[in-house]
Structure 1
Amino acid sequence: MLTTACKPPPDEVHHMPQASAAHGLEAIKRTGCGACHLIPGLRWPQGRSGPSLEGFADQGLIAGRLPNRPDTLAAYVRDAPSVLPGTTMPAMPLSEAEARDVAAYLYAAGER
């Protein structure tokens, strides 16, 4: 019997080896992501000019146009304009490791 599903379990889809969600939240706070986005687990600020990032792991697309995959998300949060020209999100002062941590946080925040 062949069994299929529309979507693999989140831990398989968004598995982020060697990334730290806790460090991701610290990077989010340091870079001021909450100034534009509503971010789960971040009490203040609660920005509204960018999209809410609540339930991010369940979204199919990043910025409505890119596949929601860990490698794509890490690249996007680090340097959105080079990944998606024309986006209004600026490049952020994040290292590659910090960008992976931010991605890990956004995926894990929806599971809390």
Structure 2
Amino acid sequence: MLGPSPLRRLAVKVCVPAWALLAGPAYAEGGIQDSQQVQRGRALLAQYQCGACHTIPGVPAARGEFAQTLRGWGQRSYIAGRLPNRPELLARWIAEPQALVPGTAMPSMGVSASDAQAMAAYLFTLR
């Protein structure tokens, strides 16, 4: 039996990665987020009062206008206009923004690494 044609091999190489990108960063990074982690992240965004500065869909009373809206976060390319928007980097940004971009307006809120991961998981569901 013959293997796949060269054209089919090319289609697989081109189409599969393109499909993964269209599915969003959470898929491209290799994980469909656990729903409990996502819901925990949503609750933590309210607990840490991120909505005082940001508008965050799905988070009650998160209607801040001081900072950029987080609507559609999962489709964004960059964090703070500088850092690649990836789940692990977003979690670091949430936990220690000044370490990544000194002088940024984003304050350090004392968020633990595990809480930041959950918060990032929720933000990546926003499309």
For normalisation by structure 2, the TM-score amounts to 0.77
SS of the counterpart of 1:12?
helix
Specify every segment of 5 or more residues in structure 1 that has no aligned partner in the other structure, as ranges. Answer: none
After TM superposition, the structure 1 = structure 2 runs for residues 1-112 of structure 1, keeping only pairs within 5 Å, are: 1=7, 2-3=10-11, 4=14, 5=18, 8=21, 9-10=23-24, 11-14=26-29, 15=31, 20-110=37-127
After superposition, the Cα gap between the structure-2 partners of 1:76 and 1:91, relative to the gap in structure 1 and judged at 3 Å, is same
Report the aligned-residue RMSD.
Answer: 2.0
Q: CA deviation at 1:51?
A: 0.3
Of structures 1 and 2, the one scoring higher in RCO (CA 8 A, sep 6+) is: 1
Q: CA deviation at 1:107?
A: 0.6
Q: CA deviation at 1:86?
A: 1.7
After superposition, the Cα gap between the structure-2 partners of 1:88 and 1:98, relative to the gap in structure 1 and judged at 3 Å, is same
Asked if the contact 2:46/2:60 (under 8 Å) is kept, the reply is no
Q: CA deviation at 1:108?
A: 1.2
Identity among equivalent pairs (%): 34
Question: Match for 2:54: what amino acid?
Answer: H
CA distance in 2: counterparts of 1:16 and 1:97, whole angstroms? 17
* Structure 1 stretch displaced more, 73-82 or 4-13: 4-13
SS of the counterpart of 1:108?
coil
For normalisation by structure 1, the TM-score amounts to 0.87
CA distance in 1: counterparts of 2:69 and 2:32, whole angstroms? 22
